[in-house]
């Protein structure tokens, strides 16, 4: 019987950020939470279709990692990809339009919830099959290294952040890509969002080594466990890993211990997880914790935080209006975007 894991003891030192940096993180987390809440509302009102997997509760991971990257770095996601896209800079209106299947969506209405893509923002895509995005992310990291070392392009120091869940770490792509990344010292962060459940399978019941970060040692790369409900802790770990990658020192495996506050998808009745487990994790809401952090360290006042929330709510409302008013893809364009256009 595998014992329940406790959260890591890593604590970020206080006041490592300026007020401006703190508000950037807070705004990004609020954007993700409010966006997902609106998606749930639209889904249950019958205005959004297909499988929709929400990110509520995991915002500290997306904001902590992606806001530690440069705008020319790469992000690769999973089917729980809305908030990763938002953190990478894809406008909320274009993400919402994509979920409505509209022509103005970031994937032109062809991808939907699980296949968000934006070349402009180096968002390499969401992927419906677990592990499918890891080789794509590896390729992005390889081309950065190849352009810099083989082609002599000194500006090619981009880093790739690859997100996936705990269930993916039992798949072959995970091990194969970690091996290649270590061999070639690729500039990539493998970010495991361990929310304890692979759909309906408890993580501890599905793997012989539930402490995923320890798997990095097999490949000679750093493996780090971090409290995924603490944006400051995630940010500190991510910044160190990004610096290593950009300096040519190779990949890092980051295991963020986090929790999704909703079911696997909006079609999931969420009956497998115990009430006590859910309540324990809800008490560690990363947004409420960060609000307390900002106020406690005199980085923001409650009035300022309310202004952020009000501004983001307006942006979400505008995004919804934009999505609803946008045109459907034309049937005449059925074969458009299948091949690259010269």
Token pair 């914790």 in the structure block, residue: 289
User: Is there a contact between 238 and 189 (Cβ–Cβ < 8 Å)?
Assistant: yes
Cα gap 107→102, rounded to integer Å:
9
* Domains identified in the chain and CATH numbers: 23-325 (3.40.50.970)
pLDDT given for residue 11 in this prediction: 52
User: Is there a contact between 163 and 115 (Cβ–Cβ < 8 Å)?
Assistant: no
pTM for the model stands at 0.95
Written as tens digits, the pLDDT of the chain (342 aa) is 344 666 665 555 554 899 999 999 999 999 999 999 999 999 999 999 889 999 999 999 999 999 999 999 999 999 999 999 999 999 999 999 999 999 999 999 999 999 999 999 999 999 999 999 999 999 999 999 999 999 999 999 999 999 999 999 999 999 999 999 999 999 999 999 999 999 999 999 999 999 999 999 999 999 999 999 999 999 999 999 999 999 999 999 999 999 999 999 999 999 999 999 999 999 999 999 999 999 999 999 999 999 999 999 999 999 999 999 999 999 999 999 888 876
């Amino acid at each position: 019987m595998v014992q329940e894991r406790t959260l890591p003891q890593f604590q970020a030192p206080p006041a490592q950020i300026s007020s401006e940096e703190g508000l950037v993180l807070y705004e990004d987390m609020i954007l993700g939470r409010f966006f997902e809440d609106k998606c749930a509302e639209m889904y249950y009102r019958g205005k959004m279709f297909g499988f929709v997997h929400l990110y509520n509760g995991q915002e500290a991971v997306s904001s902590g990692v992606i806001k530690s990257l440069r705008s020319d770095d790469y992000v690769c996601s999973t089917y729980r990809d809305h908030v990763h896209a938002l953190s990478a800079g894809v406008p909320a209106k274009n993400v919402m339009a994509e979920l409505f299947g509209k022509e103005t969506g970031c994937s032109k209405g062809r991808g939907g919830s699980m296949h968000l893509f934006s070349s402009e923002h180096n968002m390499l895509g969401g992927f419906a099959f677990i592990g499918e995005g890891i080789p794509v992310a590896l390729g992005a990291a390889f081309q950065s290294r190849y352009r810099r070392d083989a082609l002599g392009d000194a500006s090619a120091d981009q880093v790739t952040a690859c997100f996936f869940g705990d269930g993916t770490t039992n798949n072959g792509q995970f091990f194969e890509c970690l091996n290649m990344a270590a061999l070639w010292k690729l500039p990539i962060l493998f970010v495991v969002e361990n929310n304890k459940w692979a759909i309906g399978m408890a993580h501890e019941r599905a793997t012989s080594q539930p402490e995923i970060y320890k798997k990095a040692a097999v490949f000679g790369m750093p493996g780090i466990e971090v409290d995924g409900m603490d944006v400051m802790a995630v940010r500190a770990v991510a910044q160190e890993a990004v610096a290593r990658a950009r300096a040519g020192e190779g990949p890092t495996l980051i295991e963020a211990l986090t929790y999704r506050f909703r079911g696997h998808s909006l079609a999931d009745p969420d009956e497998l997880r115990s009430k006590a487990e859910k309540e324990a994790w809800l008490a560690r809401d990363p947004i409420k914790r960060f609000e307390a952090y900002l106020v406690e360290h005199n980085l923001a006042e409650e009035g300022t935080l309310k202004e952020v929330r009000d501004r983001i709510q307006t942006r979400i409302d505008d995004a919804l209006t934009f999505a609803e008013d946008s045109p459907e893809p034309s049937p005449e364009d059925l074969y458009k975007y299948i091949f690259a256009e010269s």
